[in-house]
Amino acid sequence: MTEEEIITAVEVTGGSSDDGKQFKELLNQTLSAGIEVQEVIGDTAYSSKDNLAEMKSKKIQPVVPLNPVVHNGGLRQEGFEYNKDADFVICPAGQHSIRKAVQGSKQNGKSRSLVFYFDTEKCKTCPFREGCFKPGAKSKTYSIRIMAEHYIEQIEFENSDTFKERIRRRPIIEHKNAELKRYHGMTKAKYRGLFRMRMQAILTAFVVNAKRIVTLIEKMQPAS
Ligand code: SF4
C-alpha cells in the first residue's frame, strides 16, 4: 500500500505461510504497476536477510524492525551478557570472559562467530556449573554469531530519528486491513480454494482503492 492508502499488490497464501516470503512478489507487483518505491515500511516479518538484500539491490530504504534474535546475535544461553563497549561476556556467576577468538572465515561465506573463553578454574567450583560446565572439560566458551553486513547497517539505521519517525506510519496498513474486514467481507473466504480467494481479495482491493481515489480527488478539489 502507498502512503496515500492505495493498495498496490495482493498475494494470497495458505494461513501457515510466512508473510516475509511474499515480499519479493509484492514488491514486483508494485513496481510493475509503475510505482516508484523509495522506502518499504513493514513489521519484523519482512526483515529477513534476503528481503533486506532485495531492497538494497533496488536502492529501497527498509523501514523494517529487525527480529530481536538478530539484535542478540542469535539465540543465546540464558544469563550470559555481552558488554559491547568492553567487548567481553559476563556469565551468570559474574565471571568475565578472559579471552576472545573469531571462528569461521569471511571468505568462505559462512557466518562467523565470536568465541569468548572463561577461566575453567573458576568454573570448577562455580555454584551454577550444572548445565554450564562439564567436569573435566578443557575449556568453557560462549559464542555470539557475527551479523551479516546489511544487518549491521540496518541496526544503525533502526537507531536513527528517521527510522523512529517513519515507522510511526506502519499502523496505517492495519487500518486498511480493518476496513477490508469490517466493511468488505474479508473476514471470510467466500469461496473455496486459493484461486477463488485470490479473486475475492483482488476485487475487494479494487473496490477499496476506487473509494479511496474518490476521497483523494475530493480532497484535491478547491473549496467553493
Ligand atoms: S560454570 Fe563458569 S561460565 Fe558457567 S556460570 Fe559458572 S563461572 Fe560462569
Output the CA 187–ligand 1 centroid distance in Å: 52
pLDDT at 48: 85
Phi/psi-derived region of residue 78, left when phi > 0, alpha when psi is between -120 and 50, beta in every other case: beta
The type of residue at 119 is D
Return the percentage of the chain with pLDDT > 70, whole number: 89
SS3 168: helix
Q: For residue 92, give the ligand 1 atom closest to its CA.
A: 5
Give the residue, out of 118, 134, 142, 143, with the most ligand 1 atoms within 8 A of its beta carbon, to mutate for a pocket test: 118
Kindly report, residue by residue over 42-80, the tens digit of the pLDDT: 988 898 888 999 999 999 999 999 876 565 555 467 788
Q: For residue 126, give the ligand 1 atom closest to its CA.
A: 6
Give every CB contact of residue 148 below 8 A, 6+ residues apart in sequence.
Answer: 49, 111
- Give residue 82's pLDDT band: very low, low, confident or very high (50, 70, 90): confident
Joined grid coordinates for residue 188: 471470510
Does residue 93 contact residue 128 with C-beta atoms inside 8 Å? yes
Q: For residue 129, give the ligand 1 atom closest to its CA.
A: 1
Does residue 167 contact residue 41 with C-beta atoms inside 8 Å? yes
**pTM for the whole structure:** 0.67
Residue with more model confidence, 33 or 105: 33
Output the ligand 1 site: residues, CB below 6 A: 91-93, 95, 118, 122-123, 126, 128-129, 132-133, 140
